[in-house]
């Protein structure tokens, strides 16, 4: 808890509002005396400057504050005065000013955009009859422009809350559902009268006591619980990695990482070390060329304390901060060592792995398409699953995704499988005339299929129920069970007996198959069309089928229906889907697990359901299209129950609403498609539809996150993480099936071997019986009554029996049918009872 009252801080900030020519030291002194810990910022920027002497820095280091940036903040007036004078001397003008959030005893909400500001205001005024302006930001920020002068942030502000409650946990920054960011530590914010090129920071509101925002306190405490669970999961993941490396040794890529520190790789490509560490202790480096800030990137290595860095073989990522990295590195913030070197060389990852000798150059490229870190996703094909940090970054990338994970955890369900069903529910509310653009071929449907993968009793039903509650605010959409191929068609259109006109039943539906056995049982029926119809439905193609009676053959035209499908899949029961890989069935599904090893031990508070009103607002529900008001039931024998306002005929749409897709994504899709023509693509057979699948998921994420379905690069990048998780789960299912195949082959081999042994024994027994009979015949002759030596006995029995004579004689002696008679150079053998 802070030592000074929020009234002192509020008064100190209010005293800044009259300034117009930048900060003065008198104002800074007032801030420090009110309890703010101040740090100085380079004039016109947000870049902190550390003007402490070596002696001052060494003194601070002994108290754990030897770093730069935030570590230079202080509320000592005498030190601030010295630092201020040094800054004015260095820059020839007064510096900008910021405050250290944690040391000042603050919680700060940073809203970058006007809608984020309004979201915080609505939360602060919940239950009060007051305009939003009554809950103004403490500080209104000037916004931000890109290099071309376009405003990328505007209408934002900082809401300051003085901590006046006991035992408030310090948590990492997190975002509110509306997009604003909450910070309690490791953060500084600029305050008035600081000025940047875009304009000044101005005081427009008050410093509020945190106790006045119980909603914010609850969110902070919930985040603390999530952080604790995350810390435990990371520690376990690190321990597992260490144990694996100790027992199995490093993988080839890990060994390469160990042997190539970031300093070596970066210097080779003209990056420059700044000599300064980031807060985690890893070096800050500057990219080639001119940059406004020397902090172009942070090169994370072994021993890094950054929570968001996942170490593999002493290799954390290179985290790019600059907006102007080398062109080879544009479009991505984090690069592993292997990815960095491959990109700088202009190589694909496969080419890099082969060039470095990390894989055999005869390995099928498709088998290593995702082997960036040399790790396998289970016993199936080599697939790079998400690291813990990549998964954390995915869920933290939007307020809606954070809500999905928290809601799933509150119900003890897997966030991934819940997300799969949520995406189905969202897509099912989008009319079928809304399509993806014809980037390659024709316009593409948003229809989406998801496999929820888990053993019996591992949460498929729980995931569906959780997702339905999470999306309870959505309008009506029919939910149907799986049936035949004809049944899929009749979900959307039927014909009355004697008619050749297809009547519309509905234009959107969610189909649920709790067990994959139901789907595969239908597929295995003679002349079944279910898998073929599903493949066409995923693509939004015509769903017509032939029947001798045309009145029983409804025609459902292309893009006249919306279908979302989720199927419960037990890994060992998925064989029929993979056997249809040539037809393209497994490729059209997302594969998401119903188990989540990162689920916290402690109970997670349940947040409110998702706010998806924007979907209904954009595409209002028409009960005559969704099937909520049916012309007739699915049973075509029933009579009409509700009159239509149109003729009810199902027709192909004549106008379409085409979603927008960012140009870089279009370029990537076209480039990948051309690679197939040039036979340079490395996709495996199971990834033939990966680009379109990724585009569908990106559009669904856009809708989930409050967008219009238009796909940005951010949505495209997040969709890639979903597909990487899907690839890994699918590979694990393949591993289970391969393990079944191996065990079955071993069992067959064992049965065959046992049969061969039995057959051999039977053959041997027959030969022995025949030889025994021959020995009795030979030795039963009167002239051999005194017996025969073994050599002569062998000659007498004949060639057909000689191979078994030794063991037959031994057996007959042991059985008491022959007796050995000593004499001469070799003993003789005669029948018992003869002389």
User: What is the predicted pLDDT for the residue at 631?
Assistant: 45
Rounded CA-CA distance 665/694 in Å is 11
Highest mean pLDDT among 423-432, 595-604, 811-820: 423-432
Whether pLDDT at 23 is above 70 = no
Other CB atoms within a 10 A radius of the CB of residue 806 amount to 12
Using the 8-state DSSP alphabet, how is residue 414 labeled? Answer: -
Residue 828 confidence (pLDDT) above 80: yes
Give me the mean pLDDT over the 583-595 stretch: 86
pLDDT value at 448 more than 80? yes
Residue pair 114/151 in contact (Cβ under 8 Å)? The answer is no
Round to whole Å and give the CA distance between 106 and 144.
24
Evaluate if residue 535 carries a pLDDT over 70: yes
In the numeric block, which tokens belong to residue 518? 């139901």
Which helix or strand (DSSP H or E) is residue 151 part of?
strand 151-153
Q: What ranges do the domains of the chain cover?
A: 6-223, 250-368, 388-599+613-653+661-741, 754-831
In which region does residue 378 sit, left (phi positive, over 0), alpha (psi from -120 to 50) or beta (all else)? Answer: left
Domain 388-599+613-653+661-741 in CATH 1.20.1250? no
Average pLDDT estimate for 160-186: 88
* Confidence category of residue 428, pLDDT binned at 50, 70, 90: very high
Specify the DSSP class assigned to residue 712: P
Output the CA–CA distances (angstroms, integers) from residue 800 to 784, 788, 795, 811, in the order listed. 20, 19, 11, 18
> What pLDDT is stored for residue 484 in this prediction?
62
Residue 333 has pLDDT above 50, yes or no: yes
pLDDT at 825 over 60: yes
Are residues 182 and 220 in contact, defined by beta-carbon separation less than 8 angstroms? yes
How high is the pLDDT of residue 528? 54
Q: Could you report the per-residue pLDDT of 505-520, keeping only the tens digit for each?
A: 888 889 888 776 666 6
CA-CA distance, 397 to 104, in Å (whole number)? 28
Pick one of 3.30.70.270, 1.20.120.330, 1.10.287.90, 1.10.10.10 as the CATH number of 754-831.
1.10.10.10
Average pLDDT, rounded, for the chain: 81
In Å, what is the CA distance from 555 to each residue of 338, 447, 500, 625, 636?
Answer: 52, 18, 9, 16, 15
Of residues 81 and 578, the one with the higher pLDDT is 81
Rounded to whole angstroms, the Cα distance separating 116 from 703 reads 18
Please determine, for residue 684, whether its predicted confidence score (pLDDT) is greater than 60.
no
Confirm if 473 and 602 have CB atoms less than 8 A apart. no
User: Residue 173: which of 113, 236, 223 has the closest Cα?
Assistant: 223
Pairwise CA distance, residues 424 & 446, whole Å: 10
d(CA 32, CA 80): 9
Q: Is the pLDDT of residue 445 over 90?
A: yes
- Parallel, antiparallel, or unpaired for β 828-831 and 788-789? antiparallel
Residue 239 pLDDT? 73
Higher per-residue confidence, 499 vs 588: 588
**Is the distance from CB of 481 to CB of 513 less than 8 angstroms?**
yes
Give dist(CA 232, CA 336) in Å, integer: 24
Instruction: Pick the most confident of 55-69, 325-339, 704-718.
Output: 704-718
Give a three-class secondary structure readout of 470-520: HCCCCCCCEEEECCCHHHHHHCCEECCCCCCCCEECCCEEEEEECCHHHHH
Q: β-strand 448-453 against 562-569: which pairing, if any?
A: parallel
> Of 193-202, 698-707, 760-769, which gets the smallest average pLDDT?
760-769
Number of H helices, E strands in the chain: 25, 31
CB-based contact 785:771 (threshold 8 Å): no
Query: Which residues is 481 bridged to in the sheet?
Result: 512
d(CA 776, CA 769): 11
What are the backbone angles phi and psi of residue 820, rounded to the nearest 5°? -90, 125
Supply the pLDDT for residue 11: 84
Quick one: pLDDT at residue 521?
A: 59
Average pLDDT over residues 395-414: 92
- From the list 303, 285, 280, 281, the residue with the least C-alpha distance to 172 is 280
What are the pLDDT digits (tens) for 313-327? 567 888 888 877 888
Q: What is the model's pLDDT at position 401?
A: 93
Q: Assess contact for 790 and 798: CB atoms under 8 A.
A: no
Q: How far apart are CA 262 and CA 269, in angstroms?
A: 11
- Mean pLDDT, range 526-535, rounded to an integer: 68
Percent of the chain's residues with pLDDT above 90: 26
State the pLDDT at residue 680.
45
Fold equal for 388-599+613-653+661-741 and 754-831: no
Which is more confidently placed, 594 or 291? Answer: 594
Residue 331: per-residue pLDDT: 67
> Which residue in 534, 546, 552 sits closest to 498, CA to CA?
552
Model confidence at 173, pLDDT cuts 50, 70, 90, reads: confident
H-only helix segments in 705-804 = 713-779, 790-797
- pLDDT tens-digit map of 141-172: 998 887 677 887 889 999 999 999 988 999 87
Q: Which residues of 216-239 are buried (b: 16+ CB within 10 A; e: fewer)?
A: bbebbebbbbbbebbeebbeebee
Query: What pTM does this model have?
Result: 0.51
Q: Provide the residue count of the chain.
A: 835
Q: Is 325 exposed, middle or buried (0-12, 13-18, 19+ CB in 10 A)?
A: buried
Q: What pLDDT sits at residue 384?
A: 66
CA-based max dimension of the chain: 140
Report which of residues 65 and 680 the model is more confident about. Answer: 65
User: How many CB atoms neighbour CB 384 within 10 A?
Assistant: 21
Burial (CB < 10 A; 0-12, 13-18, 19+), residue 677, is exposed
Query: How far, in Å, are 251, 358, 383 from residue 354 at the CA level?
Result: 15, 6, 17
Query: What is the token pair recorded at 324?
Result: 């102007």
For 802, residues 6+ apart whose C-beta sits below 8 A from its C-beta are 794
How far is residue 178's CA from residue 132's CA, in Å, rounded to a whole number? 15
Query: Strands, E, within 340-483: which ranges?
Result: 434-435, 448-453, 478-481
CA distances from 276 to 50, 69, 285, 294, 299 (A): 11, 11, 8, 10, 11
3-state secondary structure of 18: coil
Q: How confident is the model at residue 697 (pLDDT cuts 50, 70, 90)?
A: very high
Q: Which residue has the higher pLDDT, 564 or 349?
A: 564
C-alpha distances out from residue 580 to 187, 391, 524, 585, 831, Å = 53, 31, 11, 6, 70
Q: Where are the beta strands (DSSP E) in 328-390?
A: 334-335
- Provide DSSP, 236-293: HHHHHHHHHHHHH---HHHHHHHHS-HHHHHHHTT-EEEEEE-TTSPEEEE-SS--SS
Tokens of 824: 């001469």
Give the sign of the dihedral formed by CA 103, CA 104, CA 106, CA 109: negative
pLDDT band at 379 (very low <50, low <70, confident <90, very high): very low
Distance between CA atoms of residues 10 and 665, nearest Å: 48
Residue 633 pLDDT > 50 = no
- For residue range 360-373, what is the model confidence (pLDDT) as tens digits? 444 433 333 333 33
Average of per-residue pLDDT across 186-199: 89
- Phi and psi at residue 208, in whole multiples of 5°? -100, 145
Would you list the DSSP string of 1-17? Answer: --SS-HHHHHHHHHTTT
**Count of CA atoms in the C-beta half-sphere (13 A) of 674:** 7
Query: Is it the case that residue 138 has pLDDT exceeding 90?
Result: yes
What is the rounded (10 degree) CA torsion for 534, 536, 540, 546?
Answer: -100
Chain centroid, CA 333 distance in Å: 17
Helix axes 663-677, 713-779, angle to 10 degrees: 30
**According to the model, what pLDDT value does residue 137 have?**
95
Lowest mean pLDDT among 68-77, 458-467, 495-504: 495-504
Q: What is the token pair recorded at 692? A: 């379109």
- 775-802, pLDDT tens digit by residue? 999 888 988 888 888 888 888 888 888 8
Distances 683 to 264, 382, 412, 676 between C-alpha atoms, Å: 33, 13, 35, 9
Q: Is the peptide bond before 449 cis (omega within 30 degrees of 0)?
A: no
Q: How far apart are CA 482 and CA 488, in angstroms?
A: 8
How confident is the model over 542-548, as a mean pLDDT? 67
């Amino acid at each position: 808890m802070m030592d000074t009252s929020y009234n002192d801080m509020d008064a100190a900030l209010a005293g800044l509002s009259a300034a117009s020519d930048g900060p003065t030291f008198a104002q800074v002194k007032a801030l420090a005396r009110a309890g703010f810990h101040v740090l100085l910022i380079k004039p016109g920027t947000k870049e902190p400057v550390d003007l402490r002497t070596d002696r001052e820095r060494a003194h601070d280091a002994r108290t754990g504050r030897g770093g730069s940036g935030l570590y230079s903040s202080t509320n000592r007036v005498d030190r601030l005065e010295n630092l201020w004078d040094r800054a004015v001397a260095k820059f020839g003008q007064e510096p900008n000013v910021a405050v250290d959030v944690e040391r000042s005893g603050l919680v700060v909400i940073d809203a970058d955009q006007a809608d984020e500001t309004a979201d915080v205001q609505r939360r602060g005024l919940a239950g009060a009859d007051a305009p939003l302006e009554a809950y103004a930001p403490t500080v209104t920020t000037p916004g931000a422009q890109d290099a071309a002068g376009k405003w990328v942030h505007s209408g934002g502000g900082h809401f300051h809350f003085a901590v006046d409650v006991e035992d408030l946990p310090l948590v990492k920054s997190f975002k509110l559902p509306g997009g604003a960011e909450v910070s309690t530590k490791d953060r500084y914010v600029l305050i008035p009268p600081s000025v940047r090129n875009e304009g000044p920071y101005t005081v427009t509101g008050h410093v509020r006591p945190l106790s006045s925002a119980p909603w914010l306190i609850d969110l902070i405490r919930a985040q603390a619980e999530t952080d604790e669970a995350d810390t435990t999961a990371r520690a376990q993941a690190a321990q597992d990695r260490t144990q694996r490396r100790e027992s199995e040794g490093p993988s080839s890529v890990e060994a390469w990482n160990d042997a190539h520190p970031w300093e070596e790789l970066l210097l080779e490509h003209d990056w420059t070390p700044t000599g300064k560490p980031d807060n985690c202790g890893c070096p800050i480096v500057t990219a080639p060329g001119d940059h406004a800030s020397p902090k172009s990137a942070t090169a994370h290595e072994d021993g890094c304390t950054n929570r968001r860095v996942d170490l593999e073989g002493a290799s954390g990522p290179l985290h790019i901060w600059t907006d102007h990295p080398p062109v080879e590195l544009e479009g991505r913030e984090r690069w592993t060592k292997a990815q960095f070197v491959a990109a700088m060389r202009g190589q694909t990852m496969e080419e890099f792995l082969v060039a470095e000798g990390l894989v055999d150059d005869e390995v099928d490229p498709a088998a290593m398409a995702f082997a960036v870190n040399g790790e396998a996703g289970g016993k199936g094909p080599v697939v790079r699953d998400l690291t813990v940090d990549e998964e954390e970054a995915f869920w933290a990338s939007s307020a809606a995704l954070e809500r999905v994970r928290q809601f799933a955890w509150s119900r003890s369900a897997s966030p991934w499988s819940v997300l799969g069903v949520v995406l189905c529910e969202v897509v099912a509310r989008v009319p079928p005339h809304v399509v993806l653009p014809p980037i390659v071929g024709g316009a593409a449907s948003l229809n989406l299929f998801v496999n929820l993968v888990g053993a019996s009793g591992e949460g498929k039903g729980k995931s569906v129920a959780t997702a339905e509650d999470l999306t309870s605010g959505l309008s009506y959409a029919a939910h149907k069970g799986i049936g035949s191929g004809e049944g899929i068609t009749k979900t959307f259109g039927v014909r009355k007996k004697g008619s050749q006109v297809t009547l519309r039943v509905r234009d959107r539906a969610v189909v649920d198959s709790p067990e994959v056995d139901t789907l595969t049982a239908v597929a295995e029926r003679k002349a079944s069309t279910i898998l073929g119809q599903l493949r066409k439905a995923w693509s939004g193609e015509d769903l017509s089928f032939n029947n001798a009676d045309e009145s029983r053959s409804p025609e459902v035209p292309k893009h006249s229906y919306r279908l979302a499908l989720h199927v419960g899949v037990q890994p060992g029961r998925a064989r029929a889907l993979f056997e249809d890989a040539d037809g393209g069935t497994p490729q059209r599904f997302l594969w998401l697990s119903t188990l989540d090893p990162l689920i916290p031990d402690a109970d997670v508070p349940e947040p409110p359901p998702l706010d998806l009103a924007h979907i209904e607002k954009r595409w209002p529900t028409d009960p005559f299209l969704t099937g909520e008001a049916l012309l007739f039931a699915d049973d075509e024998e029933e009579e009409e129950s509700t009159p239509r306002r149109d003729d009810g005929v199902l027709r192909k749409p004549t106008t379409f609403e085409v979603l927008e897709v960012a140009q870089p994504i279009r370029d990537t899709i076209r480039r990948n498609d051309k690679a197939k023509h040039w036979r340079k693509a490395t996709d495996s057979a199971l990834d033939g539809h990966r680009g379109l699948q990724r585009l569908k998921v990106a559009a669904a994420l856009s809708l989930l996150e409050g967008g219009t379905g238009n796909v940005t690069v951010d949505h495209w990048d997040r969709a890639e993480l979903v597909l990487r998780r899907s690839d890994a789960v699918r590979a694990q299912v393949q591993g289970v099936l391969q393990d079944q195949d191996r065990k079955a082959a071993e069992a067959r081999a064992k049965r065959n071997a046992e049969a061969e042994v039995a057959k051999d024994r039977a053959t041997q027994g027959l030969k022995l019986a025949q030889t025994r009979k021959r020995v009795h015949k030979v030795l039963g002759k009167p002239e051999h009554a005194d017996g025969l030596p073994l050599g002569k006995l062998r000659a007498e029995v004949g060639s057909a029996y000689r191979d078994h004579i030794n063991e037959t004689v031994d057996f007959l002696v042991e059985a008491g049918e022959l007796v050995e008679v000593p004499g001469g150079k070799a003993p003789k053998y005669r029948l018992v009872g003869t002389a």
